[in-house]
Structure 1
């Protein structure tokens, strides 16, 4: 009788899952189907533990569920419903995979898939012309410079986690270092100053925070330091916002050869804020802002010099989610960020190479991206998948309970 190794099955399904997300742009429906098949099979394999996982992570499911409900007031209800269901599936698949697959297998397979992706992007001759700046930027196998930059930055974090892992042989650690270098070269070719600076800042902040967590301090003193860190960060953000509205910032950006309007983001933000005032509580509905025929979308597409119907967002996570799901969605997102920060503050296992250390880096990157990009809550994307996995790595402290459902028919 043929026996199939369970770990081999998990590895094969995980490979399908990652390739389905990373090559979604290149292969379209085929890649999405691979992702769906692998995710569904994971849920079937661990159906007895799935309910316990969903019950213990209700907050992470709140936005996807609200996205589905938003079809009730969306001008394009079928699009909102389909997108919401896809987002819910992406979230659930990420949760179950992170909860049941060993981290060393997870990060190793992710690293291999990212390496293939980054290599194809590095040797690619696909460039896109920015209609506003005239700048030509590498897009590789993706549709946009921003999407490539985000994937390359996440690839750097995956490679660094492999390099620092104590579970792998030296050859695997070296592979991780090679992935870091390759991914960073792709970032440089993409000419994305924001992603380059953010990636370096994430590594620095992660190092400082892990070092801070290892310092032996009394509970009272650490509590005061935690508040000091939070207040200092808020002051830093406020200072950056004030500097961004001065002529000094404009001059510095011009000296760097960059647009002081952040490639038109300031105009896009202003239009998003106007939409929020018009639909404050529930918003327009999930993915119901940028569709052909919507005056708001058409105005932004024309301003950005991109074709009508092109994929787009408000390049700010707080504005983007509030436009689509109102102040209710924005409030849930803030709660989610607060819970993330609390989980990190209470975690004592933070170190480079561990799943908690990887979760720290992913959260820092995705959090810093919230001010200039909208990478959270995008179905079938590696960014949303990894942030959900990071949540599980930080929150799961005990084994999942096996819950058998009995249906009386």
Structure 2
């Protein structure tokens, strides 16, 4: 039996395959360290074969993505000056192939399919963690936190915050109905429970900031595109003033205190100072991608010991820009900053000019969440993690030209129409390009 290509690569017709591929990818990102190389191969099997299925759709006008992959390419080039060339080569190839998979997803999976697949995957991830039910003691703040099947409460917090975000997106932005609405409610509720159990201040603050921005943008959609631009600029300026005033009035320390944190962010400020000091050894190009946290290197061993990292792996400077500065120098920081700034502002510009575009709203929310988290976490520069996959997926959506279309109809209604008429359009996908 021959399977039509559209069921695999057409964003309007590959709901089942696309959502299953996204859900499996989310599970792999969560537990690849537990299930090993087989899970990584399953992830690659979801996306790379789509090039062979329809190379024209996947590879057409590939030059539009050169700015997206620039950071990953530079990471590959760093093998020539890396302090640990073999480690850099392997990690850089993994990163580049991971980015390519995310861009393939951007070409073949619509934002609705991505949201449904992400909710299904996150639901399975959190249920598995609840079954494991592990709690860990944090010697830095003296508390026990829920880590489930993860090695860190911050990872539980990340997946939980994403579950709430996608649940919110499905209910209020996409306005899904039926089974998808039930899935969204269950995913958001379970995510809220695990987020409370994890006590991850980083995830809570990033989620609150993201949802607040989305509520403002949702309100801005009531205005005409011309009026909306002025409202967005005014809202941005007011937000900056409020944040500055709150910071000077001690609101930041008050929020941290509610989570049992202090102004050092439980040792993060010291870690940042160590990273800045380490970057002085190779300020322009860095020591090489992932060539700092290497077993046997004295500085890495010292910091692992100071922060009670017995595994001597999976640690970083808890700041994307400092991490990149150490590994890839000022050049790397400029490249990652290009992504971190261009993506949300590009999506905001697209949103400001559209009449009703929930896809841009959701994509902007994803970019905003990881932009906020980039100052205290390292989510988007590592292969096989959910942060980099979603971030580069959104970058791929931005790189694809927008077409003026009406909002997409709900999936169940679309399936009924296709069953009756035998054909379907691509109504409303702001990121679809035939």
**Which structure has the higher relative contact order (CA within 8 Å, separation 6+)?**
1
Structure 1 pair 254–114 and aligned structure 2 pair: CA distance change class (3 A): closer
Deviation at 1:37, TM superposition (A): 1.8
Question: Where do residues 270-285 of structure 1 align in structure 2 (5 Å cutoff)?
Answer: 270-285=273-288
- 2:102 corresponds to which residue? 94
Find the aligned partners of 2:49 and 2:147 in 1 and give their Cα distance.
32
Structure 1 pair 295–336 and aligned structure 2 pair: CA distance change class (3 A): same
- 1:4 corresponds to which residue? 3
Further displaced range: 154-163 or 46-55: 46-55
Find the aligned partners of 1:364 and 1:392 in 2 and give their Cα distance.
16
SS of equivalent residue, structure 1 residue 133: coil
CA contact (8 A) 1:53 1:95 kept: no
Structure 1 pair 400–368 and aligned structure 2 pair: CA distance change class (3 A): closer
Further displaced range: 178-187 or 335-344: 335-344
CA contact (8 A) 1:157 1:180 kept: yes
- 1:345 corresponds to which residue? 348
- 1:211 corresponds to which residue? 219
- 1:312 corresponds to which residue? 315
Structure 1 pair 353–121 and aligned structure 2 pair: CA distance change class (3 A): farther
- 1:124 corresponds to which residue? 132
Find the aligned partners of 2:199 and 2:215 in 1 and give their Cα distance.
25
Further displaced range: 12-21 or 134-143: 12-21
Find the aligned partners of 1:277 and 1:197 in 2 and give their Cα distance.
31
Structure 1 pair 274–234 and aligned structure 2 pair: CA distance change class (3 A): farther
- 2:261 corresponds to which residue? 258
CA contact (8 A) 2:112 2:174 kept: no
CA contact (8 A) 1:282 1:328 kept: yes
Question: Where do residues 2-401 of structure 1 align in structure 2 (5 Å cutoff)?
Answer: 2-4=1-3, 6=7, 7=14, 9-10=17-18, 12-52=20-60, 54-164=62-172, 166=174, 168-216=176-224, 218=226, 222=229, 253=256, 256-307=259-310, 309-348=312-351, 354-396=358-400, 397=402
Unaligned 5+ residue runs, structure 1? 403-409
SS of equivalent residue, structure 1 residue 347: helix
CA contact (8 A) 2:319 2:376 kept: yes
SS of equivalent residue, structure 2 residue 312: coil
Deviation at 1:97, TM superposition (A): 1.2
Find the aligned partners of 1:305 and 1:252 in 2 and give their Cα distance.
26
Find the aligned partners of 1:233 and 1:277 in 2 and give their Cα distance.
35
Find the aligned partners of 1:351 and 1:264 in 2 and give their Cα distance.
46
Structure 1 pair 275–352 and aligned structure 2 pair: CA distance change class (3 A): farther
Unaligned 5+ residue runs, structure 2? 8-13, 404-430
- After superposition, the CA RMSD in angstroms is 2.9
Structure 1 pair 326–300 and aligned structure 2 pair: CA distance change class (3 A): same
**TM-score relative to the length of structure 1:** 0.87
Find the aligned partners of 2:275 and 2:355 in 1 and give their Cα distance.
39
Structure 1 pair 109–377 and aligned structure 2 pair: CA distance change class (3 A): same
Find the aligned partners of 2:197 and 2:86 in 1 and give their Cα distance.
38
Deviation at 1:387, TM superposition (A): 1.0
Find the aligned partners of 1:49 and 1:171 in 2 and give their Cα distance.
30
CA contact (8 A) 1:76 1:288 kept: yes
Structure 1 pair 231–263 and aligned structure 2 pair: CA distance change class (3 A): same
CA contact (8 A) 2:91 2:289 kept: yes
Deviation at 1:54, TM superposition (A): 2.9
Find the aligned partners of 2:311 and 2:33 in 1 and give their Cα distance.
19
- 1:405 corresponds to which residue? none
SS of equivalent residue, structure 1 residue 374: coil
**TM-score relative to the length of structure 2:** 0.82
Find the aligned partners of 2:315 and 2:335 in 1 and give their Cα distance.
23
Find the aligned partners of 2:208 and 2:258 in 1 and give their Cα distance.
21
Structure 1 pair 81–180 and aligned structure 2 pair: CA distance change class (3 A): same
Give per-residue Cα distances to partners, 1:132-188, cap 9 Å, x unaligned: 222211111222111221121112212222223657432321220221111111110
Find the aligned partners of 1:232 and 1:275 in 2 and give their Cα distance.
37
SS of equivalent residue, structure 1 residue 57: helix
